[in-house]
Amino acid sequence: MTDGRRSGEQASPVQSMDPATTYRHRVPADKLVTGITPNSDIFVLAHFGVPRIELRQWRLQISGMVDRPATLTFEDLLGFAKVEIQSFINCAGFPANPKIATRNVSNAVWAGADLAEVLDSVGVQPSASFIWSYGPDHGTYQKWRADCYVKDLPMERLRSGKVLLAYEMNGEPLSRAHGYPLRLFIPGFYGTNSVKWLSRIELSDRRAPGIFTTELYNDPVPAGSTGLSRGTAPVWEVPPEALIVSPAANAKVPVGPIPIWGWAWGMRQIAFVEISLDKGPSWHRVDAGQRTENSWQRFDFTWNQKTPGAFSVMARATDLDGKTQPDLDARNAVHRIDIEVQRPPGCWSGSPVS
């Protein structure tokens, strides 16, 4: 570990942005059938596109309110203990429109160095209360332009569970789209905070300026509530949410016992899930399955529907704090799908031969 960076020399230079425009990979809910999402089905969101970074040129700089600023190579990072955490990752959706639910979610085993341990090695000063993280990807995103992607998280977060400097996803090195060679991974926080292509960490006593922390991913809050900036709240902790995997939206299913299942997740463990088949008045409570570290949890329900017709299925999660989901107009609004229950195909319905 050295701090031998010559002034003007850029750490982790980006060879090119490829693609150089917003890149998304979306996976429909009914494809999320395995507990661990295969790497090819983990959604991707890259605001500016995907940078190409050479491992031998990549560095992680740590500066700001620390006793010993450092510049780490990838080798240096591998010198720290490798920590594995199973966790969901959930995109917050459209940053300028927090009322739209986009439901991009996956669940994976993330591995890397423990951020707290790396920070201990450089000595965080007591007045530091925010960790700023930088990705060198740059360009335009909708009407915004920036030279890098910068987010922040409060130091307190390190007290409620590990945060990773992750270099593996499901046992494989990160792919370029997912942040090669290194990304931040904050279990329980919205995906936007887990900075990919991580190249710089700065300790500060205030929130990071920049469009991704001030204008975007910073929700307006009603007057009278408290927020870190006046009238806004950072999009950090994931509130409870449930996603119906099966049946698929607009599926046609036969009458009889109809299995309904899906995933539920949040910063806090999910206590139970409720299913409604009448658009809200009545709810059936089911167990939220086991949670491994910060993983999503599986819920299952069997619906005995004996007559055909058009129906809606809704699923709603409640966490151990008793917090649940809003019906509408929120990024974690209750998931509702429409399905058609049909008579099974068979020879018991006939029509006259003309």
Cβ contact 17:51 at 8 Å: yes
ω before 187 within 30° of 0 (cis)?
A: no
Binding partner of residue 108 among Mo ion, ligand MTE, none, CB cut-off 5 to 8 Å per kind: none
Sites of contact with Mo ion (CB under 5 A): 45, 91, 191-192
Residue 162: contacted member of ligand MTE, Mo ion, none (CB under 5 to 8 Å, by partner type): none
Considering CB distances under 5 to 8 angstroms, the limit depending on partner class, which of ligand MTE, Mo ion, none binds residue 86? Answer: none
Q: How far is the CB of 303 from ligand MTE (least distance, A)?
A: 32
Report residue 294 as tokens: 């910060």
Here's the x/- map for ligand MTE, 85-104, by CB under 6 A: it reads as ----x-x-------------
Q: Within 11-70, which residues bind ligand MTE (CB under 6 A)? A: 42-47
Residue pointed to by tokens 């499901």? 170
Q: Which two tokens stand for residue 176?
A: 């370029």
> Which own/partner pairs from 279-283 qualify as long-range (CB within 8 Å, at least 24 positions apart)?
279/312, 279/314, 279/336, 280/314, 280/327, 283/316
Nearer to ligand MTE, 89 or 124 (CB): 89
Instruction: For ligand MTE, give the closer residue by CB, 192 or 218.
Output: 192
**Two tokens at 299?**
């819920």
Q: Between 116 and 145, how does the x/- string for binding to ligand MTE read (CB under 6 A)? A: -------------------x-x--------
If the CB atoms of residues 316 and 331 are measured against ligand MTE, the closer one turns out to be: 331
Q: Measured between alpha carbons, how far is 69 from 2 in angstroms, rounded to an integer?
A: 9
Any idea of the CA torsion for 77, 83, 86, 88, to the nearest 10 degrees? Answer: -40
Neighbours of 298 (CB within 10 A): 17
Q: Which is nearer to ligand MTE, 95 or 247 (CB)?
A: 95
Residues that bind ligand MTE (CB under 6 A): 42-47, 89, 91, 135, 137, 149, 178, 191-192, 194-197
